[in-house]
Structure 1
Amino acid sequence: MSAALAQLLSHHTGGRGAHPGPVIGYVGADVPVEYLTAAGLLPVRLGGDPHTPSTTGDRYLGTGLDPAARSVLTRLLDGGHGPLDGVVVSRDCEASTRLFYALRELRRVEPSRALPPVHLVDVLHLPHRTTTRYVRAKLAQLRATAETWAGRTVDDTALAAAITAHDRLRELLARVADLRRARPARLSGTEMLTVVAATTALPVDRATQLLEQLLAEADGLPEHEGTRVFLTGSPHDTAHVYARIENMGFLIVGEDHDRGDLLYRRRTGTPTETALAERYQHNGPAAPRAAIRTRAEHTRRQAEECGADVLVGYARLRDDAPAWDYAAQAAATGLPSVFLSRQPYGGLDDGATEALAALRPAAPAEALR
């Protein structure tokens, strides 16, 4: 195995590692991590743990909310994320919003928990210049918060350098993603998802270095074959579902959630604050925010570019948005497809396993042309 790939696959999120400065946990792809990097803070994207009961989080959020958010809160309250110096939450969906308000209120009413300070960033995704001005104002608030946490000013030079660094990281992730789109693939979907997760918990320069090394070692990577899947629906903060699907003879070559392809496909370009606001404003299209027609066209285009043989929709329990899009996505792609609804967090129920098994024998798309 590639030495760089081994390091990326073995990296565990949630610790400060060798980073000398403050560590900031964040929730959601709408958090402009460039401000945290520019301030000398280490942004670490937070995730849940499907194998640990979310009892503590359920106490404050109830059981009617996305279990991934309840698991994140549980880990924050139980110390599962390690020491954090702050938390930034984006208003990307209802579950994230409720998570923020729960954290803010817990800091107020239960100071003995010593929870870190929390900041909400609200990025809207409407295609208007007035929206850009609104997003810029919200980003300015995050900039001020990052300066407070870091104890230093974020000047335009530092911000421009951070924007350039994160754009470079996204460019490299897109090139690494091409390794799993290749025929034969040089990365599995499970490996790709794990690599992406590692880059959201490492300093940007270290993540960039490892991706450059991985690309240099690509010719030595093993080959992967299988029925090629484009995966749509709920985001995946762990690789458990990917591994289950790929162990059945599938190969996940693309997805449309913000812990995979949607995280890095759009870059900022110009290293300015306005361009950064536009990057986050127009990022997507994510299931909770985008129109059905927009999602369907995106899925059609990306599935075609991936050379997908089949379309698999996956909707986690309490995550209703993916079901709104699926029929239009399936019609747009014209691929053999299956929708796995109300799935347990980080897993597949028996019905989903049977539905996937029935899809597996379908002839690959090349044979149908």
Structure 2
Amino acid sequence: MRPVIGYVGADVPVELITAAGAVPMRLAGRPGADRTLGEKYLGRGLDPAVRSLLSRLLAGEFGRLDGLVVSRDCEASLRLFYALRELRRVEPAVVLPPLHLVDVLHLPHRTTTRYVLAKVRQLRATLESWTGSVITDPALAEAITAHDRLRALLGEMAALRRRGRLSGTRALSIVARTTALPVVQAIELVESVLDEDHAPVPGRRVFLTGSGHDSPEVYEMLEEAGLLIVGEDHDWGDLLWHRRVGAPTELALAERYQHNGPSAPRASIRARAAHTAAAARECGAEALIAYAREHDDAPPWDYPAQREATGLPSVLLERQPYGGLTAEARTAIKELS
């Protein structure tokens, strides 16, 4: 049986996990589930998605993991790593996999590239020790090619959304499934979706910005209200696939993750606004929704510049519950739709 390596955050170079002969599984929370275990160690002042993820991990819901890679994509992920590392140290009765932190920086400098390349090489060595398999250059090249193929197919699926032939809810669910499958099976899944007949999907075309969505509940609520999510700029959606590696080398892999984004926690307000405006235009969006989960403080800072840059009718939904909408947000959505 192939080893399973869990990972948290889109800054983890999953190609290395595949090249090690393991299955990469992106971990996520679950809205509505009990978060008591996670809050015991993280408190209640952190993004509830991460508190839910830790609760699920401690409850054994992800099954047996042969390792866990956490990226420093945001403050919540970093605090999760520190909590897990301390738990392994002081509570040996708690069964946790070995841990590794990946710190990918996103500055546009060659010195940053060298730093990220060093982190990629550290992860490569860690995965070899966990799996007992040497990651050869040919294996890495094959993994890069396969994951780039998957990203290209997800881009084709995104084109279906832009043509109004696929709902945002279904697209998000499919993307999430690809993050917990071997890459070959993920490719087959997306190919099967692309082979379907796709009827037009009704709804006012909206672009979604702000917090990431690791489950479809919010998308379902928005689309049930008469909207159609044709694009987004979080890393469970379009930011996950839009940049490819391009060359089958370790350096190209480092550059892909260095330059991926721009995400709300790691990019400047100007960069976010420019990206959102360009992506919304490409999607043919008619409105902009900024969704900010409670204890996710970055998106509201981005919103004024995004609203100005897009020039679209827009609404900011602040301090939203994980996987849900407040009554005030539902009212605002009705006015927008």
Count of aligned residue pairs for this structure pair: 337
Q: Are 1:192 and 2:168 matched, yes or no?
A: no
Q: Are 1:241 and 2:218 matched, yes or no?
A: yes
Aligned-residue CA RMSD in angstroms?
Answer: 0.7
Q: Are 1:90 and 2:71 matched, yes or no?
A: yes
Aligned to 1:296: 273
CA-to-aligned-CA distance 1:225-282 (integer Å, 9 cap, x gap): 1000100000001000000000000000000000000000000001101110000000
Separation (CA, whole Å) in 2 of partners of 1:347 and 1:244: 8
The alignment's TM-score, normalised by the length of structure 1, stands at 0.90
Separation (CA, whole Å) in 1 of partners of 2:45 and 2:190: 39
Separation (CA, whole Å) in 1 of partners of 2:2 and 2:173: 25
Q: Displacement, 1:176?
A: 0.7
CA-to-aligned-CA distance 1:306-334 (integer Å, 9 cap, x gap): 00010000000000000110000000111
Q: Are 1:102 and 2:102 matched, yes or no?
A: no
Separation (CA, whole Å) in 2 of partners of 1:237 and 1:89: 16
Separation (CA, whole Å) in 2 of partners of 1:222 and 1:148: 48
SS of the equivalent of 1:81 reads coil
Aligned to 1:308: 285
The alignment's TM-score, normalised by the length of structure 2, stands at 0.99
Separation (CA, whole Å) in 1 of partners of 2:27 and 2:139: 25
Separation (CA, whole Å) in 2 of partners of 1:294 and 1:94: 20
Q: Are 1:349 and 2:326 matched, yes or no?
A: yes
- Name which of 155, 160, 171 aligns with 1:174: 155
- Name which of 141, 145, 155 aligns with 1:160: 141
Q: Are 1:30 and 2:7 matched, yes or no?
A: no
Separation (CA, whole Å) in 2 of partners of 1:261 and 1:69: 21
Q: Displacement, 1:86?
A: 1.0
Aligned to 1:11: none
Separation (CA, whole Å) in 2 of partners of 1:228 and 1:94: 32
Gaps of 5+ in 2: none
Q: Displacement, 1:85?
A: 1.3
SS of the equivalent of 1:205 reads helix
| 2:181 alignment partner AA | L
- Name which of 270, 280, 286 aligns with 2:247: 270
Runs of 4+ deviating beyond 2 Å:
none
Aligned to 1:283: 260
Gaps of 5+ in 1: 1-19, 361-369
Separation (CA, whole Å) in 2 of partners of 1:149 and 1:222: 46
CA-to-aligned-CA distance 1:185-212 (integer Å, 9 cap, x gap): 2210000000100110111001112212
Q: Displacement, 1:84?
A: 1.2
Separation (CA, whole Å) in 2 of partners of 1:124 and 1:202: 27
